[in-house]
Structure 1
Amino acid sequence: MVPFRKMHGLGNDFVVLDARAGDLDLTPDRIVGIADRHFGVGCDQFIVMEPGTRGADVFMRIYNPDGSEGGACGNATRCIASLVAGESGADRVVVRTISGDLPVERLPDGLWRADMGAPRLAWQEVPLARETDTLHLPIGLGPVSDPAACSMGNPHATFFVPDIEAVDVASLGPTLERDAIFPDRANIGFAQVMGPEWIRLRMWERGAGMTLACGSGACATLVNAVRRGLAGRRARVSMERGDLVIEWREADGHVLMTGPVATAFTGTLDLGAFGP
C-alpha cells in the first residue's frame, strides 16, 4: 500500500504521491486509473514528488488524467512547496519541473507565492506549428476568435470575451485544444477583463478538460492581457472557486502567482488494483 494525499489550489485538485525514497512503479495505466473520478481517486493532475538535486528541494513530475506528462502546474507547485516546507520548516522552497526551477515563498495567512519565471512569447517557444504573431493567432471557433498565446512552461491560448458566462467552455475547449496550430495541444483560457486589476477566467486544460482553477493559465492570462493593453501588470484573476493574484514583474520579466493551498484528505493506494 502506498500513501497519497489529495490536495488542491482553489479546487484545482491533485493526487500526490511521494517517490523520494524510491521508485513506485507508476505505469501509464495506473496513473490513468488513479486519476479517474469514477473508478479511482480522481484529480485534475497526478503529481509525483521525486528527489531534488543541485539546488532544488524537490522534483515535481506532473501527469494529466490521460497519462500525458505536463510541463507546469502553478497550483500544484504551491501545494508541493507547502509539503516540503512543512517538513523542513523553511519559508522558501525550490520546486524543480521539466520546464525549470520554481522558487516558492511562504506568506502570511496561509498564502504561498510562486515565481513562475518569465513567459515565453516567441512562436517557437509556445510552441506553434508555424511562424505566427503570438499576440493574434488566426484561429477561432463559433463565437470566439483571435486569441493570444504564450508558454508558462506549457502552451496557453487566451480568448478575450465580452461575457464569460456566455461561453460554452465544454463545447469549445476540446476542439480548440487540438487545433493544428498547436503541435503539443494547448490549454485554452476564456477571459473577461473586468478592469485593469481584475480578470475573470474559465479554463479548458489539455489532457484534463474543464478545471475549477489553473495557476499557469491565470499567469498566461495576465501576460496576454498586459500585452494587449487590457490590464495592468498586477491583477486579481478570479476563477470558479476563488482568486489568484498575478504580477508580471517589470524588473526581470518574471510572473509571480500568489494563492492558497489545501489538503482535502489522505489515504493509501494498492497500485496493483489500477492496472499492470
Structure 2
Amino acid sequence: MAHKIRFTKMHGCGNDYIYVNTMEYDIPNPSEAAIAWSDHHKGVGSDGLVLIGSSPVPEADYTMHIYNADGSEAMMCGNASRCIGKYLYERGLTDKREIRLLTLSGVKTLQLHISHDIVECVTVDMGEPVLEDEAQFISSRGLNKGVFVSMGNPHYVIFTDNVDLVGEMGRILEYHPAFPQRCNIEFAHVLSPSQEGSTTIRTRVWERGSGITLACGTGACATAVAACMTRRAGRTNDIVMDGGTLHIEWRESDNHVYMTGPAEFVFDGEIESSE
C-alpha cells in the first residue's frame, strides 16, 4: 500500500541531499529509494538520500546513514553532517549546540554556530586522516601523481593547473583497479602560496557513486591534508569548490581535521512510497 513520506531537501555548498527523519518514517529499502528519489527527471533530484535516526549507543546523540544517487551507501559526508546539525536544532529536535553524530566511520562531533536561533554554520570534527599504508598500496599499482587520504572514506587528490579534468578523468579514476572499493577523486589547484593565514585552494570533485558534485566535505578535508603533506600549503586552508567555500584546519594538537561551512534548507515536501 502506498503511503507518503515527508522529506526535507538541504544543501551544503551545493552538495544537495534528501533528508528523512527515520524516527518518524520507516525506509525499508533506502538504496532503492535513493536511486528513485535522486533522479532529476522522475524524482526529487539530489546527490543522494540521508537518513537521520536515534542513536543505539550512549556515545552518540543521533545517527546518519547516507546513500549516494546510485544506491551505494557512503561511510561519511561532511556536508550532510552539517545539514543534520542545522536540521536537528532548527526543527526543535534538540537544543544542544554540540551534537555527537554516529556515522559508519565513527562518531563525529558537530559544533553549531548560532545567532538568533539560526544555525549560521557548523564545525565538524572529522577525526584523523589515514595516510601511509593506503598511499603505499596505491603507489605499488602505478598511481603516483596524486595523494591518497582517507577521511573515513577514500580520496585521491591530484594537484594540477586544470581542475576541469574532473569531467574527463573522474569516472575513470573512480573505477581504477587500484581502488577495489572505488574512490572519490579531487583535482586541486593552489591559488595562493602558503603563509601564516589561510591558503586558498580551488578544488573540483568527482564523488564515488554520484559523479561531479558542487562540493564534498570529506573531499575538502582530504585536499587540505594532501596540500599540507606535499608542502603546498599550511594547516589552515580555504577550499573553493563549485558550490562554495569550506574552511579546513588540520590541527597539530590532536591531528584532527576540522571543517567549517554553511548548511541551508531548500524545501520540504512529500513523496509517495509503495513500500
The answer to whether residue 75 in structure 2 is matched with residue 65 in structure 1 is no
Does the residue aligned with 2:132 lie in a helix, a strand or coil? coil
Cα distance per residue 1:208-247 (max 9 Å; x no partner): 0000011000000000111101101001110112110000
- Residue 17 (structure 1) aligns with: 20
Shift of 1:35: 1.2
Shift of 1:123: 3.0
Match of 1:226 among 221, 225, 228: 228
Does the residue aligned with 2:58 lie in a helix, a strand or coil? coil
Q: Which amino acid aligns with 1:186?
A: C
Q: For structure 1, which segment, 23-32 or 82-91, has the greater mean C-alpha deviation from structure 2 after superposition?
A: 23-32
In the TM superposition, structure 1's runs of 4+ consecutive aligned residues that sit over 6 Å from their partners are none
- Residue 101 (structure 1) aligns with: 107
The answer to whether residue 11 in structure 2 is matched with residue 8 in structure 1 is yes
- Residue 77 (structure 1) aligns with: 81
**Aligned alpha-carbon RMSD (Å):** 1.8
The answer to whether residue 43 in structure 2 is matched with residue 40 in structure 1 is yes
Match of 1:120 among 107, 121, 130: 130
Q: TM-score, normalised by structure 1?
A: 0.89
Distance 1:91 1:190, change over 3 A: same
- Residue 34 (structure 2) aligns with: 31
Q: How many angstroms apart in 2 are the aligned matches of 1:34 and 1:245?
A: 31
- Residue 182 (structure 2) aligns with: 185
Q: Answer yes or no: is the 8 Å Cα contact 2:30–2:67 preserved in 1.
A: no
Q: Answer yes or no: is the 8 Å Cα contact 1:149–1:155 preserved in 2.
A: yes
Q: Answer yes or no: is the 8 Å Cα contact 1:84–1:93 preserved in 2.
A: no
Unmatched runs of 5 consecutive residues or more in structure 1: 140-144
Q: Which amino acid aligns with 1:14?
A: Y
Q: How many angstroms apart in 2 are the aligned matches of 1:112 and 1:84?
A: 12
Shift of 1:44: 1.0
Q: Answer yes or no: is the 8 Å Cα contact 2:138–2:148 preserved in 1.
A: no
Q: Which amino acid aligns with 1:205?
A: E
Shift of 1:26: 2.7
Shift of 1:24: 2.4
Identity of aligned residues (%): 38
Q: How many angstroms apart in 2 are the aligned matches of 1:204 and 1:271?
A: 30
Does the residue aligned with 2:228 lie in a helix, a strand or coil? helix
Shift of 1:122: 3.2
* Matched ranges for 1:62-211 at <5 A: 62-86=66-90, 87=92, 88-108=94-114, 110-124=120-134, 131-133=137-139, 138-139=142-143, 146-164=145-163, 167-195=164-192, 196=194, 197-211=199-213
Q: How many angstroms apart in 2 are the aligned matches of 1:114 and 1:32?
A: 27
Q: How many angstroms apart in 2 are the aligned matches of 1:162 and 1:173?
A: 16
Shift of 1:108: 4.9
Q: Answer yes or no: is the 8 Å Cα contact 2:85–2:110 preserved in 1.
A: yes
Cα distance per residue 1:131-154 (max 9 Å; x no partner): 3459xx732xxxxx7010011010
Q: How many angstroms apart in 2 are the aligned matches of 1:26 and 1:104?
A: 28
Does the residue aligned with 1:270 lie in a helix, a strand or coil? strand
Q: How many angstroms apart in 1 are the aligned matches of 2:102 and 2:121?
A: 20
- Residue 142 (structure 1) aligns with: none
Q: TM-score, normalised by structure 2?
A: 0.90
Cα distance per residue 1:81-122 (max 9 Å; x no partner): 112223222111111101101101112560110000001113
Distance 1:45 1:31, change over 3 A: closer
Q: How many angstroms apart in 2 are the aligned matches of 1:99 and 1:245?
A: 21
Unmatched runs of 5 consecutive residues or more in structure 2: none
Q: For structure 1, which segment, 20-29 or 155-164, has the greater mean C-alpha deviation from structure 2 after superposition?
A: 20-29
Q: Which amino acid aligns with 1:40?
A: G
Q: Which amino acid aligns with 1:92?
A: E
Shift of 1:22: 5.5
